[in-house]
Amino acid sequence: MSKEKNGATIYYHDIGDYLSREQKLDIIRKARSINGVKWTELHPDEHGDWINHRNGKFAEFIPLGDKDDKKNIQTVFVPWYSNGLKTQRDCWCYNSSQAKLKTNIQKMIRFYNEQRNLLASDQIKEV
């Protein structure tokens, strides 16, 4: 893309991966100014990607599945689709805290048993 068409040029400097905040700031301090940084002029690819240009080979891969074309497309998985594992009680059966999850499950079991006992005692009274 030309500067005339877009009116801007974008420059980029990769400071590195997996660095702490302090390490990144130290690199910037050592550069002392933007003139001390090795810049790369960025150009988007045909998809509009600027930094991580996608690999066109992905379009040639067999898809995992295609819900829109279940019969006519070759997929990794036979065209069977499901909602996956479901409890319909996600707020009770999932939690990032194991202790809270255990408490929730215990409350649910206790309530279930209370209701079961109430139902059983009502049936005994009717007999």
Number of domains in the chain: 2
- Spatial separation of the C-alpha atoms in residues 76 and 61, rounded to whole Å: 10
Q: Say if 95 falls within a structural domain.
A: yes
Q: Residues with Cβ < 8 Å from 10, sequence gap 6 or more?
A: 41, 42, 50
Q: Tell me the per-residue pLDDT of 76-122, one tens digit each, with 9 for 90 and over.
A: 766 666 677 777 777 778 888 999 999 999 999 999 999 999 888 87
Question: Has residue 4 got a pLDDT over 70?
Answer: no
Q: Say if 113 falls within a structural domain.
A: yes
pLDDT band at residue 33 under the 50/70/90 scheme: confident
Q: Say if 74 falls within a structural domain.
A: no
Q: Say if 17 falls within a structural domain.
A: yes
pTM of the predicted model as reported, rounded to 2 decimal places: 0.38
Looking at the structure, tell me whether residues 55 and 93 fall in a common domain: no
pLDDT band at residue 1 under the 50/70/90 scheme: very low
Looking at the structure, tell me whether residues 115 and 55 fall in a common domain: no
Looking at the structure, tell me whether residues 15 and 44 fall in a common domain: yes
DSSP code for 56: G
Range of the domain at 102: 86-127
Q: Say if 72 falls within a structural domain.
A: no
Q: Tell me the per-residue pLDDT of 42-74, one tens digit each, with 9 for 90 and over.
A: 988 888 888 888 888 888 888 777 777 666 667
